[in-house]
């Protein structure tokens, strides 16, 4: 358990001894989104009011697109440049 907490705190540093800070932050963001969805759904079922469902789904689609776009941008950014074609 002590090693687990050490690696979590080491993730906040700039060396590679801890867990990935990007993965930890993504995990926390996803947990917050799940909590917000559960709270919204609970409220929607209690009041029987699903008027905001379209907006929630659009925000979800936007978030997913943003995450996939960030992954694509990162892979393009890290891709080595192709050598110029021989003439």
Contact 23, 12 (CB under 8 A): no
Classify the C-alpha dihedral 36-42-46-51 as positive or negative: positive
pLDDT for residue 8 is more than 80: no
48: left (phi over 0), alpha (psi -120 to 50) or beta: left
pTM of the entire structure? Answer: 0.54
Task: Give the model's pLDDT for residue 9.
Answer: 75
Q: At what angle do helices 21-47 and 53-78 cross, to 10 degrees?
A: 170
10 vs 37, more confident: 37
Task: Give the model's pLDDT for residue 71.
Answer: 62
Q: Which two tokens stand for residue 80?
A: 């080595």
pLDDT for residue 11 is more than 80: no
């Amino acid at each position: 358990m002590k090693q687990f907490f050490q690696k979590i705190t080491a993730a906040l540093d700039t060396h590679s001894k801890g867990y990935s800070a990007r993965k930890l932050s993504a995990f926390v963001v996803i947990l917050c989104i799940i909590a917000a969805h559960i709270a919204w759904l609970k409220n929607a079922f209690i009041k029987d009011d699903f008027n905001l469902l379209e907006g929630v789904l659009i925000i979800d689609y936007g978030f997913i697109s943003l995450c996939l776009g960030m992954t694509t941008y990162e892979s393009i950014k890290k891709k080595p440049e192709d050598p110029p074609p021989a003439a």
